[in-house]
Structure 1
């Protein structure tokens, strides 16, 4: 396991959308998701920097919304899983 690279180098990207800890705050994430979906460009990347789930009771919904955002962006821009 020590030979596995733990870092990712981004090449040929436009912007990085960095999302901090959500901690199951569904309302907050839906607002962030809407903004990102409206402003995302093909060569952008999304990075989650903190906990998606945690303190709130919407863990299942948060995971579902993260997957929906990824799926919808991939469909909108015809991206492959490694592109986002």
Structure 2
């Protein structure tokens, strides 16, 4: 497993919106992660944007498509709320 961490500045930055964003990112990883596969940055941004209550965000990390190492699969890592 290869935990994928995020740094996100969220508006509004409330516990409810943070929970919705985390759930949306977990869902994205569960649906699209595959061994040695790539998660597109556009899909990561979309997952944040569609979270209930989110009106704006800045994704500080990651900033590019993320490719798991050969034989590894992404799992949900920590989120730093900026």
Structure index of larger Rg: 1
TM score, norm. by length of structure 2: 0.29
Higher share in helix: 1
Higher relative contact order (CA 8 A, sep 6+): 2
TM score, norm. by length of structure 1: 0.28
